[in-house]
Every structure is written in structure tokens, then in C-alpha cells.
Amino acid sequence: MLLDKLSARLERVEEFEKEPIPQSKLKGLRSFLGMYAGEHTAGTEFVIGPLFVAHGAGAGDLILGLLVGNLLAVLSWALLCAPIAVKERITLYYKLQKICGRDLATVYNLVNALMFCFLAGSMIAVSATAVGIPFNIPMPQLTDWMP
């Protein structure tokens, strides 16, 4: 019952998950570029990258790894996600819900939420490490389990 009420409230949110976006709600090129840059600029690359270099990885290896990783990410979105989005005009999450059902999609959401909690904790640890540099706090080693 509570789940049904919550689900009904979420259905009223205008996110256009199950229908094409109306022309009046489409954004322009500047909005797209701003959202894209905000989503795909990883500040952690600039903090964790030097840590790997300091512990023996070559700068060339680091740059090559970043290029290959970002290329694979772009290709997966361009070849897997974008065709579904353009053809179906629904979100990938709704497509997942149509394929596997509501219950499995809920389990997916819970696992994903837990994963993002760990990711948020990692980002806090990375930020705390970066703040410690000007105060001469010892940097964690690659073998450390705790920051």
C-alpha cells in the first residue's frame, strides 16, 4: 500500500520517462553542453591520477588509460544507449523495467543506491586527501585500507 502511494506520487513527476519529451521542454545546445560537462568531468581523475604517478605509474600510461577509458565510455553510450533512446524515446531505466519487471527493477534500484553510497564515501575520502596536501598531512599509500 505504501509502495503503491509512493509509486503514484512518482508517476506524477514530469520526467517524461515513458513518453517522448514535448517540444516545449527541449533544451538548446548551450544547456546540453553545460549538462554534459557537468556529468562527464571527473575531478577525481585529477586527484587519483597523480597518486598513481607518485607510486610508479608512468604519466603516459595514466593518460593512455584515461583516453581508452573515456573512449570506451563514449562508445558504449553511442552504440548501446543512444540507439535505444532514439528508437524508443523512453529512458533506459523504463526499458529495463519493461524487460525484467517492476520487482527486479526495484532490486536494481536498491543495489544501485547502495553502490552510490560507497561511491559517495570514496569521493569524500578523495576530497579529504586533497585538502590534506596543503596542511602536510601524510598521503595514504596504495596499500592503505583507510584514508
Question: Which sequence spans correspond to the domains of the chain?
Answer: 44-89, 90-136
3-state secondary structure 47-103: HHHHHHHHCCCCHHHHHHHHHHHHHHHHHHHHHHHHHHHHHHCCCHHHHHHHHHCHH
Distance CA 70, CA 75 (A): 9
Residues 77, 83: Cα–Cα separation, whole Å:
9
Residue by residue, pLDDT tens for the chain (147 residues) are 787 887 777 777 667 777 777 788 888 888 877 877 776 666 666 667 777 777 788 888 888 888 888 888 888 888 988 887 788 777 778 888 889 998 999 999 999 999 999 888 877 877 777 777 788 888 777 787 776
On whether the pTM is more than 0.75, the answer is no
